């Protein structure tokens, strides 16, 4: 790895950990095999070390946009993961509701309906963990 790539990877890990949490990133890294390690490197460097690390938008703003896109595309597991990540990004439940309302209008009611259902399940888990 050249220095630029090393720095992007290091930055990507820092941002990824700050958004998704150490536990999630550690699990992903520990589960990586020779087969998918290049994919983990790609998302760490491209998504987290380049896009999420750009100046101009806060983590909250990136979180809201990411949730809307994932919901619109029907990526349920990623929606759940990024709803959990809002505990670290500062996106509120009201922000998520507004994002999913936009999904309903611009990407379809079924996509938004599914996203709301997923978010409610994740909120229940988060609330239970906070009280238990």
Do 16 and 78 fall into the same domain? Answer: no
Count: domains in the chain: 2
User: Which tens digits make up the pLDDT trace of 24-42?
Assistant: 999 999 999 999 999 999 9
* pTM of the full structure: 0.92
Structure tokens belonging to residue 8 = 């992007």
In this structure, are 70 and 37 located in the same domain?
no
Say whether both 29 and 77 belong to one domain.
no
pLDDT given at position 1: 74
Position 131 pLDDT exceeds 90: no
**Arithmetic mean of pLDDT, 43-71:** 97
pLDDT exceeds cutoff 90 at 120: yes
- Whether residues 28 and 63 fall in one domain: no
> 46 lies in which domain range?
1-55
**Mean pLDDT calculated for residue range 108-128:** 97
Instruction: Please give the Cα distance from 51 to 17 (Å, whole number).
Output: 15
């Amino acid at each position: 790895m050249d220095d630029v790539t090393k720095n992007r990877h290091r930055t990507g890990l820092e941002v990824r950990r700050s958004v998704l949490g150490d536990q999630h990133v550690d699990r992903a890294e520990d589960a990586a095999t020779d087969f998918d390690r290049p994919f983990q490197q790609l998302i760490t460097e491209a998504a987290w070390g380049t896009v999420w690390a750009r100046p101009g938008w806060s983590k909250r703003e990136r979180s809201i946009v990411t949730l809307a896109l994932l919901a619109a595309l029907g990526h349920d597991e990623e929606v759940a993961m990024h709803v959990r990540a809002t505990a670290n990004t500062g996106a509120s439940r009201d922000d998520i509701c507004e994002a999913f309302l936009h999904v309903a209008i611009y990407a379809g009611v079924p996509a938004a309906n599914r996203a709301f259902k997923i978010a409610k399940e994740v909120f229940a888990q988060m609330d239970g963990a906070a009280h238990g």
